[in-house]
Structure 1
Amino acid sequence: MRERLIGIDAGGTMTKVVLFDVKGNELACERRPNIMLMPNEGWTERDGDGMWRATCESLQALLEKTGTNPADIVAVTPSGYGGGAYFVDAAGNLVSNGLVSTDTRSISLIERWKRTGLAAEVSRHIQQQVWPGQTFPIMAWFQENAPEVMKRTVHMLPCKDFLRMRLCGDISTDPTDGGCAGIINVTKGDISREAFEAAGMQGWLDKLPPVRSSVEVVGMVSAAAAAATGLRAGTPVVRGVYDVVGCSLASGAVSSNELAAVAGTFSIHSTVHRTPSLAPLPTIQTPYPVNGQVLATTATPTSASNLEWLCKTMLSAEAQRAFLEGRSIYDVCNDLVAEAIGRPNGILFFPFLYDGPRGAPGGFLGLRAGARLADIVRAVYEGVVFAHRYDMNYLLTGPDAADPKVIRLAGGPSRSPVWAQMFADGLGLPVEIANGSEFGAKGAAICAAVATGIYPDVATAIANMVRVEQRLEPDAARTAVLSHKYRAYLAAIDVVADLWSAGADERLACAG
């Protein structure tokens, strides 16, 4: 028998199902797109049934194309994006579309909470910030604006927990998803009744899933799920962690010496602490299943998704030409940036297409007629690095801040030599890249390896399943160039944000 582990990662754009061996080697992956539904401005939703079907199709295809005997699967473990929500009835049927963590319908509610002091009170109870895609204010929004959904809801489930319910019928969550959802006290690792009482949301308490260990077998694949997925009925299902924590595990971040960074839809930075960080107060804070520690995280939608937008819009012709040549548009972009890296470039790109500090909009500044396409793409790469630096500096400033010596990088830029080196140069720390590519799913597999007794604990599993394959040292000359440009970037953000804010009233007046 060949021991195999399957990790599922339902992320912001794709659901991925990945096959691993017990040494952490990534053997095969199947992907299916997740369709974003936007019924109103700022609302980002997902058909949960469609996501489940995509998971089933991916599992069937993975087993078939690899010739894997379902009896060789030691366990299957879901992971998925944190925040958002899936509301289901007693039979496990959805009572609304699922909400994605980019949803911003709760912004005005949060602003009201800030004015009244409630946001600060809730933050004290949950030991992290209150942010729009977080489950806690989303539930508050539904309580106020869609009480019929709240009434029909029997269970509120995070993304991975919804998928696990479909696999084996289990209703629960783990401390990492509970932390990201903003529903637990991080120190206690359990539901914060105080936060719900402060917000007048006690009606949700009996709809919340119990919070249990991330590394526990919670059930077996049901007969119905086996028929839909190709898995063997009775295959163990493990509770797991949400994807940011999974990426941190798969990057090998086990102490305060390592900062885990993910460059994807969000710019994500996570540091490991002995106790919760309160100064700075992170966007997200969760118990971390390594030696009883805590993971503090900043997350803003300012990362590599900006390049994806560029490729789908301004570079659509180049993308089509690359496809006909059997190449990826992202390979083309890497070549362009490598060509342009040595010449002067005064173009600033603000990677705020989805959100920005102080409401600053996305866009370019400093374009001249002589600019080439390579210079523009390079500016996008640099702008994303600057957004990461901005967030990282916040996370690393304050009495509770960690002092990492290395960045463990995951996400698309980690697979681009020129961009990964730019991260090292722009952030001023060595960048290390671990083995594999699907880190969220690998974090799930690490949990499975512990839950099924292959390894005694998560730290041991990481030591056996994670290997650093590449290390990039900062180049002093390039660091100096990017630091000078970063100062201009910071100054420009303030100016642009002020101008955009001042023009908001005019735009509203014209619209009226």
Structure 2
Amino acid sequence: MYLGLDLGTSGLKGVLIDDAQTVLAEAVAPLTVSRPHDGWSEQAPADWIRAAEKVLGELAGFGLGALRGIGLSGQMHGATLLDAADDVLRPCILWNDTRAAAEAAELDADPRFRAISGNIVFPGFTAPKLLWVARHEPQIFARTAKVLLPKDYLRLWLTGEHVAEMSDAAGTSWLDTAKRDWSEELLSASGMRREQMPRLVEGSEVSALLRPELAQRFGLPKRVVIAGGGGDNAASGIGVGVVRAGQAFVSLGTSGVLFAANDGYQPDPATAVHTFCHALPGTWHQMGVILAATDALNWFARLAGTSAAELAADLGPLKAPGKTRFLPYLGGERTPLNDAAVRGAFIGLEHATDREAATRAVLEGVTFAIRDCRDALAATGTRIESLLAVGGGSRSRYWLEAIATALGTPVSLPIAGDFGGAFGAARLALMAATGAGAEIVTQPTISAVIEPVSVLSSAFDEGHARYRAAQAAIRGLT
């Protein structure tokens, strides 16, 4: 029996599997985000612990006496600052917090960051957040003894040890992504020291053992290993079996991700593609990331006074993109813009624009942003031979048909079930506990393959061209 814990932005999920990788039980605890100022996004790490206690308590009712391993997955880039006694010094600054845009630009201007980390220094990454803290909260910065990523703070609670793994560490701007080790050079350039960093392991390795008092509290065996785990997208890649070159998935969650596995390290920071370590040794992955996917549809649903599910259900068969265009940059954008200041827009509104037309524009806007990610990945030489769809937005056939048509690529939809970060983390726990390798990371059974609507391919090409023109027009406007 193996447990995966996925610490997301909106909640913590636990998935329990057996040796055959059958899901035995699930539990979820909600989380909220604090936004005390424009562009800020924070959470209290104590809330993560309460959520973990709730999830473990619920799963303990199923019986955890045969548990052998726990794997961790979580939201990336968060800066959890601890003092020498491991007390939290301030709320965690989350992945979608843009306060450190100036600091990110400053670090990114140093050519060593792109050369060593393989990535642009984005405002949401961890290193610029610490530079922001040094400048705006110097007393807190002076007391910072350790910096942990969100899931690794959970690991500290579980084990008492400071440990991170490669896929999550690659999103800090402190990792030498080719060498899979902290870079002394990048740490020093941002005012940090190696001793402030956690120890590194691979995602499928044992990172530490569960504390005896927690084992006793929740009815677990005396020896439970904690796997290294993975950042949320790398763990999702493990969950859906995207671990080899040519395999990819598109995730339609709060944010949107086009994730492709790579056998080697092939960075191209200028494309704003993320090139990170995968959660398995000797592998890497690339991502095009957009900051608002279902978040954009949920935002419009609130504006329209209804639910996202109701909006998506009313659309009928796929249609050619209309005059109304939507730019989904509600909180800035990563790939390919690298622009924390850009904001979204409706363009081409007219008297004929009704709720259905506006909803289609929102879905098309996110779809075209994903196409931008595909083009950026292609510019690095990454190929996509198979594409899976995951996340809440994948329940909309209309949206999947739009993506398949815009990308000119069939989209495979797994059977009903959770193959995301928590399931991937549970798989990593199985690997750590048993010594199994990548052979267990198979793809799920496919329930449907959504083909491109060929008669609309040209219309979507033209729609994307209009989208890019609108994108250029709003840059610099706030």
TM-score of the two chains, using structure 2 as the length reference: 0.92
Match of 1:57 in 2: 54
Match of 1:460 in 2: 439
Which residue type is aligned with residue 328 of structure 2? P
Instruction: State the alpha-carbon separation in 1 of the partners of residues 32 and 343 from structure 2.
Output: 25
Match of 2:424 in 1: 443
Post-superposition Cα deviations, 1:35-81, rounded to whole Å, max 9, x if no partner, equal 111222222110100111012112212333xxx21112222222101
Match of 1:211 in 2: 200
Match of 1:321 in 2: none
Kindly report which structure 2 residues correspond to 1:225-236, keeping only aligned pairs within 5 A, or say none.
225-226=214-215, 231-232=220-221, 234-236=223-225
Match of 1:286 in 2: 276
Match of 2:142 in 1: 151
In structure 2, which of residues 308, 314, 328 is the aligned counterpart of residue 336 of structure 1? Answer: 314
Deviation at 1:343?
Answer: 7.3
Contact kept, 8 Å, 1:253 with 1:259, in 2: the verdict is yes
In structure 2, which of residues 310, 316, 328 is the aligned counterpart of residue 351 of structure 1? Answer: 328
Match of 1:297 in 2: 287
Instruction: State the alpha-carbon separation in 2 of the partners of residues 430 and 131 from structure 1.
Output: 31
Please identify, of 105-114 and 299-308, the stretch whose mean Cα deviation from structure 2 is larger.
105-114
Post-superposition Cα deviations, 1:413-440, rounded to whole Å, max 9, x if no partner, equal 2222222222211221111233533501
Match of 1:166 in 2: 157
Higher helix share: 1
Kindly report which structure 2 residues correspond to 1:346-495, keeping only aligned pairs within 5 A, or say none.
346-356=323-333, 357=337, 359-398=341-380, 401-435=381-415, 436-453=417-434, 456-457=436-437, 459-463=438-442, 466-495=444-473
Which residue type is aligned with residue 163 of structure 1? L
Match of 1:33 in 2: 30
Q: Which secondary structure state, in structure 2, belongs to the residue aligned with residue 71 of structure 1?
A: coil
Post-superposition Cα deviations, 1:71-113, rounded to whole Å, max 9, x if no partner, equal 1222222210111211123333211111110111211122334
2:259 pairs with 1:273: no
Post-superposition Cα deviations, 1:436-473, rounded to whole Å, max 9, x if no partner, equal 335011110111111111x620x21113x743343222
Contact kept, 8 Å, 1:449 with 1:461, in 2: the verdict is no
Contact kept, 8 Å, 2:4 with 2:16, in 1: the verdict is yes
Deviation at 1:478?
Answer: 2.6
Please identify, of 18-27 and 443-452, the stretch whose mean Cα deviation from structure 2 is larger.
18-27
Match of 1:191 in 2: 182
CA separation of 1:479 and 1:337: change in aligned 2, threshold 3 A: same
Match of 2:105 in 1: 111
Q: Which secondary structure state, in structure 1, belongs to the residue aligned with residue 316 of structure 2?
A: helix
Contact kept, 8 Å, 1:89 with 1:155, in 2: the verdict is yes
Q: Which secondary structure state, in structure 1, belongs to the residue aligned with residue 16 of structure 2?
A: strand
CA separation of 1:363 and 1:62: change in aligned 2, threshold 3 A: farther
CA separation of 1:280 and 1:206: change in aligned 2, threshold 3 A: closer
Match of 2:239 in 1: 250
Contact kept, 8 Å, 1:347 with 1:379, in 2: the verdict is yes
Deviation at 1:306?
Answer: 0.6
Instruction: State the alpha-carbon separation in 1 of the partners of residues 320 and 448 from structure 2.
Output: 26
Contact kept, 8 Å, 1:268 with 1:388, in 2: the verdict is yes
Contact kept, 8 Å, 1:270 with 1:298, in 2: the verdict is yes
Instruction: State the alpha-carbon separation in 2 of the partners of residues 7 and 277 from structure 1.
Output: 30
Number of equivalences: 471
Please identify, of 272-281 and 32-41, the stretch whose mean Cα deviation from structure 2 is larger.
272-281
Contact kept, 8 Å, 2:400 with 2:411, in 1: the verdict is yes
CA separation of 1:484 and 1:123: change in aligned 2, threshold 3 A: same
Which residue type is aligned with residue 63 of structure 2? N
Q: Which secondary structure state, in structure 2, belongs to the residue aligned with residue 405 of structure 1?
A: strand
Q: Which secondary structure state, in structure 2, belongs to the residue aligned with residue 70 of structure 1?
A: coil
Q: Which secondary structure state, in structure 2, belongs to the residue aligned with residue 91 of structure 1?
A: coil
CA separation of 1:338 and 1:145: change in aligned 2, threshold 3 A: same
Deviation at 1:250?
Answer: 1.5
Match of 1:13 in 2: 10
CA separation of 1:449 and 1:469: change in aligned 2, threshold 3 A: farther
Contact kept, 8 Å, 2:184 with 2:193, in 1: the verdict is no
CA separation of 1:214 and 1:291: change in aligned 2, threshold 3 A: closer
Post-superposition Cα deviations, 1:209-247, rounded to whole Å, max 9, x if no partner, equal 111121123333324434665655543322211111011
Post-superposition Cα deviations, 1:282-331, rounded to whole Å, max 9, x if no partner, equal 543222244622112222303221112122x2133x3xxxxxxxxxx343
Contact kept, 8 Å, 1:259 with 1:270, in 2: the verdict is yes
Instruction: State the alpha-carbon separation in 1 of the partners of residues 371 and 117 from structure 2.
Output: 26
CA separation of 1:70 and 1:28: change in aligned 2, threshold 3 A: closer
Q: Which secondary structure state, in structure 2, belongs to the residue aligned with residue 314 of structure 1?
A: helix
Instruction: State the alpha-carbon separation in 1 of the partners of residues 209 and 251 from structure 2.
Output: 32
2:129 pairs with 1:132: no
In structure 2, which of residues 80, 83, 88 is the aligned counterpart of residue 86 of structure 1? Answer: 80
2:227 pairs with 1:241: no
Instruction: State the alpha-carbon separation in 2 of the partners of residues 310 and 98 from structure 1.
Output: 28
Contact kept, 8 Å, 1:87 with 1:153, in 2: the verdict is yes
Which residue type is aligned with residue 440 of structure 1? G
Residue ranges of structure 1 left out of the alignment (5+ in a row): 319-328, 505-512
Instruction: State the alpha-carbon separation in 2 of the partners of residues 393 and 456 from structure 1.
Output: 35
CA separation of 1:373 and 1:73: change in aligned 2, threshold 3 A: same
Match of 1:325 in 2: none
Q: Identical aligned pairs, as a percentage? A: 23
Post-superposition Cα deviations, 1:346-367, rounded to whole Å, max 9, x if no partner, equal 2211111111445442122222
Match of 1:72 in 2: 66
Match of 1:306 in 2: 296
TM-score of the two chains, using structure 1 as the length reference: 0.86
CA separation of 1:100 and 1:254: change in aligned 2, threshold 3 A: same
CA separation of 1:28 and 1:330: change in aligned 2, threshold 3 A: farther
Please identify, of 225-234 and 143-152, the stretch whose mean Cα deviation from structure 2 is larger.
225-234
Contact kept, 8 Å, 2:319 with 2:456, in 1: the verdict is no
- Give the superposed CA RMSD: 2.2
Post-superposition Cα deviations, 1:245-275, rounded to whole Å, max 9, x if no partner, equal 0111222212221223222222222222333
Instruction: State the alpha-carbon separation in 1 of the partners of residues 66 and 195 from structure 2.
Output: 38
Which residue type is aligned with residue 313 of structure 2? D
Which residue type is aligned with residue 25 of structure 1? T
Please identify, of 358-367 and 474-483, the stretch whose mean Cα deviation from structure 2 is larger.
358-367
